[in-house]
């Protein structure tokens, strides 16, 4: 008995193209799912940001320049994540020492604070020193409108790198 498959019954080219279109469909749906996830994440971030801004609305605004006037051990302010902290009472008791604190006095200390890898306790402790918020035009992290969050993040990282240096302690971010 002849068990071989008659070659005329299988159209190899249609099989190949069906598999290619399946692959393209799968790729397109994965891309769509990825974009949808990214958009949802962005929306969640915006909502969190709006909620945080609303909770900070009662605070007075201080510019980076105003913060820079408080750069002494007996009058020490810093900026963390766009929020202004009067850490005068902490300077002499800071577990990491007074010196590191004074290096940041009157400046945006966000990157320095983060790079230390402070504990959750330390992060929660900062709230007790909160006295204000930067004006909207100087904010990097707390923005109500962020249509392109991922682009904004890169730009923010760039701008804070610029204002977080000794050469440029009070640069205004537009
Ligand atoms: C309100 C602001 C701050 C608070 C409440 C705070 C609190 C603390 C606390 C509780 C610790 C003990 C270790 C821990 O629990 O993580 C610590 C350690 C330390 N902090 Fe801060 N800190 C503040 C700002 C800063 C800033 C601006 C710097 C600048 C770089 C800094 C640098 C350090 C260093 C270097 C240590 C030692 C870390 C170690 O020994 O592993 N801190 N801080």
Instruction: Quickly count: other Cβ atoms within 10 Å of residue 146's Cβ.
Output: 15
Task: Supply the residue whose CA is at minimum distance from atom 11 of ligand 1.
Answer: 95
Q: Determine phi and psi for 14, rounding to 5 degrees.
A: -70, -35
Whether residue 152 has its Cβ less than 6 Å from ligand 1? no
Determine the pLDDT at residue 143: 79
Mean pLDDT by 10 residues, the chain (174 residues): 52 67 90 93 86 91 98 98 97 96 98 96 96 96 60 49 48 36
Whether residue 116 has its Cβ less than 6 Å from ligand 1? yes
Question: Which CATH number is 64-163's, of 3.10.120.10, 3.90.740.10, 3.40.720.10, 3.40.50.11740?
Answer: 3.10.120.10
Determine the pLDDT at residue 30: 92
Hey, where are the domains in the chain? 12-56, 64-163
Whether residue 121 has its Cβ less than 6 Å from ligand 1? yes
Q: What's the token pair of residue 38?
A: 């990214």
**Residue the block writes with tokens 């990282």:** 157
Whether residue 94 has its Cβ less than 6 Å from ligand 1? yes
Tell how far the Cα of 171 is from the centroid of ligand 1, in angstroms. Answer: 24
* Residue 25: C-alpha distances to residues 36, 39, 56, 143 (Å): 16, 21, 46, 37
Determine the pLDDT at residue 114: 95
Whether residue 112 has its Cβ less than 6 Å from ligand 1? yes
Q: Determine phi and psi for 132, rounding to 5 degrees.
A: -175, -170
Task: Supply the residue whose CA is at minimum distance from atom 18 of ligand 1.
Answer: 96
Determine the pLDDT at residue 166: 44
Measure CA of the first residue to CA of the last residue in the chain; give whole Å. 83
Task: Supply the residue whose CA is at minimum distance from atom 38 of ligand 1.
Answer: 96
Counting from 1 in the atom list of ligand 1, the atom nearest the Cα of 112 is 30
Determine the pLDDT at residue 13: 64
Determine the pLDDT at residue 162: 54
């Amino acid at each position: 008995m002849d068990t071989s498959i008659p070659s005329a019954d299988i159209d190899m080219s249609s099989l190949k193209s069906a598999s290619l279109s399946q692959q393209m469909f799968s790729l397109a749906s994965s891309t769509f799912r990825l974009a949808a996830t990214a958009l949802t994440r962005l929306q969640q971030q915006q909502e969190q940001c709006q909620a945080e801004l609303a909770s900070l609305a009662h605070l007075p605004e201080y510019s980076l320049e105003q913060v820079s006037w408080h750069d002494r051990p007996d009058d020490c302010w810093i900026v963390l994540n766009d929020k202004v902290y009067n850490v005068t009472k902490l300077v002499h008791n800071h577990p990491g020492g007074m010196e590191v604190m004074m290096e940041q006095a009157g400046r945006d200390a966000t990157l320095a604070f983060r790079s230390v890898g402070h504990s959750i306790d330390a992060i929660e402790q900062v709230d007790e020193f909160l006295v204000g918020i930067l004006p909207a035009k100087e904010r990097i992290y707390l923005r109500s409108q962020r249509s392109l969050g991922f682009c904004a993040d890169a730009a923010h990282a760039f701008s804070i790198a610029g204002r977080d240096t000794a050469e440029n302690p009070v640069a205004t971010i537009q």
